[in-house]
């Protein structure tokens, strides 16, 4: 769990500071976060809450052109049931 938190933190920094690998980092970031959020026990863990705060911060601070193309990915992953 902590390793995923550090991975999410690194990917969030990468999204905010560079655009070279944005098409690889943002989908991976969303996949890690959503996969962990599916488990109720994991979703209530303090580390997951820190990850969520980190992702929210990076979405607020990142330029829109880096995050906007992945709205469809986010909707598709949340409606997979």
Judge contact between 29 and 12, C-beta under 8 A.
yes
Q: What is the mean pLDDT of residues 37-54?
A: 91
Confidence band of 6 (pLDDT split at 50, 70, 90)? very high
pTM: 0.77
To the nearest whole number, what is the mean pLDDT of the chain? 85
Its sign, for the CA torsion 63, 69, 75, 80, is negative
Judge contact between 52 and 58, C-beta under 8 A.
no
Higher pLDDT, 77 or 66: 66
Q: What is the pLDDT of residue 81?
A: 57
């Amino acid at each position: 769990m902590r390793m995923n938190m550090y991975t999410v933190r690194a990917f969030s920094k990468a999204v905010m500071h560079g655009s070279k690998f944005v098409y690889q980092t943002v989908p991976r970031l969303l996949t890690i976060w959503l996969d962990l959020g599916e488990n109720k026990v994991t979703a209530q863990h303090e580390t997951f809450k820190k990850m969520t705060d980190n992702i929210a911060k990076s979405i607020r601070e990142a330029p829109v052109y880096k995050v906007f193309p992945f709205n469809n990915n986010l909707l598709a992953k949340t409606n997979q049931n």
